Structure 1
Amino acid sequence: MLTNIVLERPNDYRVIDHDGLWKKIIQELFEEFILFFIPDLAEELDFSKRPEFLEQELFKEIIQEKKGKQIADQIVKVYSKTGEEKWLIIHIEIEGSPRENFSKRMFRYFYHIYDKFNVDVVAMAVLTNNSNVLTKGEYHYALHGTSLTYQYNLFKISDYSEDELLNSDNPFAMAILAAKYVHETKDDVEKRYQFKIKLMKILSQKRKYPHEYNRMYISVLIYFIDYLLQIPLELTKKLREQLIEIKEGKEMVYINRDSMPISWGEFERIVKAEGREEGKAEGKLEGKKEGKRIVAKKLLEDGMSFEFVAKYTEIPMEELKKLVNIPN
């Protein structure tokens, strides 16, 4: 069964846009997203076949109706385990504060999709705030004997408890927990700072995710958390020096450089790949040393203290000063 999933076009992580961040992480952790919210649907899909995100032109007639960012404008193809030639469209909309006519708009999206493509539609909305405006996913119309009731899947992040999310084996639960923390720390940056450290340390100690996916999960989630839980510059600098992550028994450093985090995988590539490249002529040992020097220089240029860099790269202070041309 060929399935179409409708999503809003994601934005780059560099853009401070909560909608864009959510759509991005849904694309990167799509299977985990479906498993978290609609496990019955996940059972029907064949995730071994990579989802195909289609061009928004295929949805142009429906997109033209939207105002601002009210409608999803991306279609994704996935395949079921049965191989049936039935089409399924999943409409995903994530809103912070749903407007009064939210359910009516969900219905309109439904019938436009159904009418244009003549396919079965599974609709879902994930609300990221603590609003009580919506209590159920339903739109009802009635006029002089003519009536209809449209129901869709409605998920509210505020309905999930912290313990439930912390104990979940699904990596997407960490994204949901980060969203809860956003609203709990709306007016308290110090508390947000503490929650941010908490989440990243939890991720550094995660071992229950499948080993082959562990690094990918952590990298994706760190990007998401870093931008969703924004903190002032002074706290960001403090965060840099406190995040000593433990991975496979080795101390690793989480670095935030120019608002673009360097994940563990990228850190390791700097140490290993660049180090090997620079040190080919001098052998593996020298290559590893050169890799450390490259990382150390990047850290110092990013404002990290000499003491911090010396401790975690094991490079003498005198040599570090030479890297940035500072006299002894």
Structure 2
Amino acid sequence: MSISLLVREESSKYIHHDQLFKQLIHTFFAEFLEAFFPEIHSHIDFSSVKPLPEEIFTDLIEGESRRADIVLQVKLKGTDTILIIHVEPQSYPQANFHERMYLYFSLLYNKYRKPILPIAIFSYDDYRNEQDTYTMEFPFFHVLTFKYLMVELRKINWRNYIEYNNPVAAALLSKMGYTEKERVQVKKEFLRMIVKLEINPAKSELINGFFESYLSLNEKEEEQLMKEIKELSPQEGEPILQLPNSWRDKGLREGRQQGIQEGRQEGIQEGEKQGKREATRNIALEMLKEGLSEQVICKVTKLNPGEIRQIKKDI
């Protein structure tokens, strides 16, 4: 089976959002299927996952290009099946999207000649009625009906996923259906989910960075969130207060201790800064080892591309 992640190549902002989605799903592919398509997940041998070459398809009429950035081959009940995942990370309505899905399906099938399971993921900020079918027919003859699976995040009630011990579900709470009044509650439930996940700091930071990219609380909301967390029981509230990651707390503690030993207030402040920098470099190093892209690491850690490249040289 293979996955193809189709990317619209337009503005840098689009590419940035698209890259976050691609990295999330690529890193947690099994968890993505488990959360949204459990019936598919149960039929896949994830030990057989094999990346396939990247493809670029061009729409000659409109002059647009789409890139199949992620193509993974996995076994499904003893056969090789191509699974196409299209991630649309912006509110970009396309009247002929269903036709495009059929086009890319056809191009992939023409190359690999294997069964294909197409899936589209819509992350629009508004509520739309997307089609999941492309039909070609005449008054006198029905040629074909092409269908694909789809996830419309904004139509999903975020509360339906808060009991999932799933990193993709946690990250995508930020794109699901919630009201402005529920923003603080969504963030609190996200933090609860993060506490339950047993993943390394690099992956934890990827999830947190994704969430913050789409749901970032203002100062008043942060104060309300902190108030509600402190009202939780110590068993539940303390682990949340230790977030986002133990590596960051460790860096702060080491920096603070360094400053205390120097006996100067400026030493404390400089020590804290050094601790933060070292902790950030450490997490960037772990993210590089996990295979995350430089673009995503820059977004999550706030390091510049030059610093990321230097860390790569030091590995």
TM-score (norm 2): 0.64
- C-alpha distance in 1 between matches for 2:139 and 2:207: 51
3-state SS in 2 of match to 1:132: coil
> Contact between 2:7 and 2:67, CA under 8 Å: does it hold in 1?
yes
> Contact between 2:119 and 2:150, CA under 8 Å: does it hold in 1?
yes
3-state SS in 1 of match to 2:166: coil
Write the deviation string for residues 58-106 of structure 1: whole angstroms up to 9, x where unpaired.
Answer: x24x356596887342243343275x3x331111112234311111111
3-state SS in 2 of match to 1:119: coil
Partner of 2:215: 229
Partner of 1:304: none
1:178 and 2:174 matched? yes
- C-alpha distance in 2 between matches for 1:47 and 1:120: 17
Partner of 1:33: 32
1:112 and 2:107 matched? yes
- C-alpha distance in 1 between matches for 2:262 and 2:44: 55
Partner of 2:248: 267
Partner of 2:134: 139
Write the deviation string for residues 12-66 of structure 1: whole angstroms up to 9, x where unpaired.
Answer: xx967322221111112111111122222212222245553x442xx24x35659
Identity %: 19
Partner of 1:259: none
- C-alpha distance in 2 between matches for 1:229 and 1:246: 26
> Contact between 1:47 and 1:78, CA under 8 Å: does it hold in 2?
no
Cα distance, 1:37–1:63 mapped onto 2, change above 3 Å: farther
The one-letter code of the counterpart of 1:100 is A
> Contact between 2:184 and 2:224, CA under 8 Å: does it hold in 1?
no
What is the deviation of 1:123?
Answer: 0.3
- C-alpha distance in 2 between matches for 1:117 and 1:22: 25
Range 241-250 or range 106-115, more displaced: 241-250
- C-alpha distance in 1 between matches for 2:140 and 2:173: 45
Correspondences of 1:47-86 after superposition (within 5 Å): 47-49=46-48, 51-52=50-51, 54-56=52-54, 59-60=55-56, 62-63=57-58, 71-80=66-75, 84=78, 86=79
- C-alpha distance in 2 between matches for 1:69 and 1:33: 28
Cα distance, 1:44–1:196 mapped onto 2, change above 3 Å: closer
The one-letter code of the counterpart of 2:266 is K
Cα distance, 1:266–1:27 mapped onto 2, change above 3 Å: farther
Cα distance, 1:146–1:293 mapped onto 2, change above 3 Å: farther
3-state SS in 1 of match to 2:213: helix
> Contact between 2:8 and 2:65, CA under 8 Å: does it hold in 1?
no
The one-letter code of the counterpart of 1:7 is L
> Contact between 1:72 and 1:91, CA under 8 Å: does it hold in 2?
no
Q: Which of 203, 206, 210 lines up with 1:220 in the alignment?
A: 206
What is the deviation of 1:150?
Answer: 0.8
> Contact between 1:139 and 1:151, CA under 8 Å: does it hold in 2?
yes
- C-alpha distance in 2 between matches for 1:320 and 1:76: 54
Partner of 1:24: 23
Question: Aligned pairs, how many?
Answer: 260
Partner of 1:278: none
- C-alpha distance in 2 between matches for 1:115 and 1:28: 28
Partner of 1:45: 44
Partner of 2:2: 4
> Contact between 1:31 and 1:47, CA under 8 Å: does it hold in 2?
yes
> Contact between 1:126 and 1:155, CA under 8 Å: does it hold in 2?
yes
> Contact between 1:193 and 1:235, CA under 8 Å: does it hold in 2?
no
- C-alpha distance in 2 between matches for 1:251 and 1:36: 23
> Contact between 2:18 and 2:87, CA under 8 Å: does it hold in 1?
yes
- C-alpha distance in 2 between matches for 1:100 and 1:73: 21
Structure 1 unmatched runs, 5+ = 186-190, 255-262, 272-288, 298-314
> Contact between 1:126 and 1:154, CA under 8 Å: does it hold in 2?
yes
Partner of 1:305: none
1:161 and 2:157 matched? yes
What is the deviation of 1:203?
Answer: 3.6
The one-letter code of the counterpart of 2:167 is P
Write the deviation string for residues 111-169 of structure 1: whole angstroms up to 9, x where unpaired.
Answer: 121122211110011112233332x4111121242322111112211332232111223
- C-alpha distance in 2 between matches for 1:104 and 1:77: 23
Structure possessing the higher radius of gyration over alpha carbons: 1
1:152 and 2:148 matched? yes
1:201 and 2:191 matched? yes
The one-letter code of the counterpart of 2:157 is S
